[in-house]
Structure 1
Amino acid sequence: MGRIGMSRKTVIGSATIFAVLALWFLLTSVTQVISPGRFPSPSDTWLAFVQITGKGYANGVLTEHILRSVMLVTLGFLVAVCTGVPLGLLMGWSRRAEALINPVFLIIRPIPPLAWIPLAILWLGLGDMAKIMVIWFAAFVPSVINAYAGVRSLDRTLIEAAQMLGTPMLTFMREILLPGASPMIFTGLRLSLQASWTTLVAAELVGAMTGLGRVLNAAQQDLYPGMILVGMIAVTLCGWLMTVALGIAERYALAWNTAAKALD
């Protein structure tokens, strides 16, 4: 039954994509209801793709722009995970830590990541570190919130039993805290990864020599809709592939959780 459901979803999804592509071709190439200056046709988009993969555009070919952007997203995301998840676990576990850290976190949490761009440039210049800082902040907040929620969702009876038995802290962290909070932690990682890609484009609009954000900025200045769409598609595919990779890692890491649900 599950396989049939998945096959049906695949067919419906493929049909939807085909319908969107057909409508795009109809409106831009056949009827030309939408002028090429407002939205590119499939042929214009293909020509832009051929240009950026061959001769290059905005100081590089497509692979160079993709690798640059993936590097920035990966670094910002990893730094956010390494700082946000431990902080969220600490706040969820310790009332004192929560009382100390949460007021500051509540102040910076509503600040949009893009609002940090001027300060990032002032502190770190126009290089990669400023962009990584902005991406880090965008990914940091979801990591903290979901790690915190993961700890708070644990069965308090289990925690109290471990404390009564004198379970060593490292054993408690490894056997109870991290496994129990992992589903929420991975939810936070997915949100953090999405936020990283959303913020990347804006971060690369300032002072970037290469990258997908640089491609979009240059295409906008050149009034080049086909190249804008190529850049948008590249961002979408990169974000989707990294999300799929994270989902695979999540399935391996939470195999015990899937097995437990199957037994229920």
Structure 2
Amino acid sequence: MDRVSVVVPAYNQARYLPMCLDSIWFQDYPDVEIVVVDDGSTDGTRQVLDRYVEDVERERASYASYYDAAQGVVKRTWHPRFPPRGRRLARLEHQANQGLGAALNSGFGAATGEACTFLAADDTLLPSMVSELMRALTQSEADFAYADMHIVDDAGRILRRFSLPDYSFEACFCRWYLCGVCKLYWRRLHAEHGYYDPKRVSQDHEMYLRFAMGGARFVHVGKVLANVRIHDRDRKVDNHSPEKESRQIADSIELVRMAREFVARARATRGVP
């Protein structure tokens, strides 16, 4: 069974981090590694991680398991809240904030799984995400699998479904961009094509464009397998600020232009109009 590594870059998202980590820990896939990169947070993220590690080791939960007729009571069965097998949690820490690209590269550099992905510290996965995308990778012999998402607000309420197209280079890279929030790919792609570019705002888009231009095979799973959080506009959250979003859109448009030029060159080489 191939191990799956999930990198979690965390910068001042202590409020959401435990829910994010739970959504990875409680995947129904049997071998998952979580690599958390605290990118110089100043909001107590370190303390939240300390508490999370303690909870993994000690926290217990219970459920009503049977009715004891002789005593007239319902008995409860106690068990560790966190499944003890098939999970590994690694922690990395940047002393100062270095940005998302640097945090991702630190995390993927430490990952040991054959397949990998990353998840923002304020987003969550549905329980079957890893197993369904691993199945898609192996059954289709693809290099990269991606699925649809729900967009949720700060309270976790669903705002809309974010559906992605079935894969073609034109649909996913030339018309707009492949939104790689809910994805899983073989880690060897990094050995072949490099890591995330810290200079880019759309680090994932640019990385996956390099994968595609290098011949990686993509497959789409048309199911919602992750929740992507959009913060309320009256809250000051750096990674969703209007200024950053504007730069991200400009960056994505530039990458779309690069993709179209790549297609044009490829068609010219093959003599296709």
- State the TM-score, normalizing by the size of structure 2: 0.24
Larger relative contact order (Cα-Cα within 8 Å, sequence gap ≥ 6): 1
| Structure number with larger C-alpha Rg | 1
Quick check: which one's helix share is greater? 1
Q: TM-score, normalised by structure 1?
A: 0.25
